Amino acid sequence: MMQTNVPGVFAAGDVVTFPLAFRNNKKVNVPHWQMAHTQGRIAALNMLAQGTEINTIPYLWTAMFGKSVRYAGNGEGFDDVIIQGDLEELKFVAFYTR
């Protein structure tokens, strides 16, 4: 895992795609430091011939202007959005589902 098409060359971070286990190993890109950290660890273990795979759910968060934004999963290909909370007050959770 995290090895390029060149044997012995590994890559990690916001410029790579990787197989996302819960999406049937579809290759995705998640340009966030949390995934870069995970990928770096996985790449290092595989450089040491540990045979380690990524089995995590991508997540990120940020805070701007006193508001918090949190994201978990992979939102590509949703069919419906379920809102819980109050949109007008900007106090809500949005679930993107299939």
Measured between alpha carbons, how far is 60 from 86 in angstroms, rounded to an integer? Answer: 22
**Which tokens is 86 given?**
């109050």
Q: Any residues with CB less than 8 A from the CB of 86 and at least 6 apart, and which? A: 92
pLDDT in tens, the chain (98 residues): 888 999 999 999 988 988 888 888 888 888 888 889 999 999 999 999 998 888 888 888 889 888 888 888 877 778 899 999 999 988 898 998 87
CA separation, residue 55 to residues 1, 24, 70 (Å)? 11, 12, 20
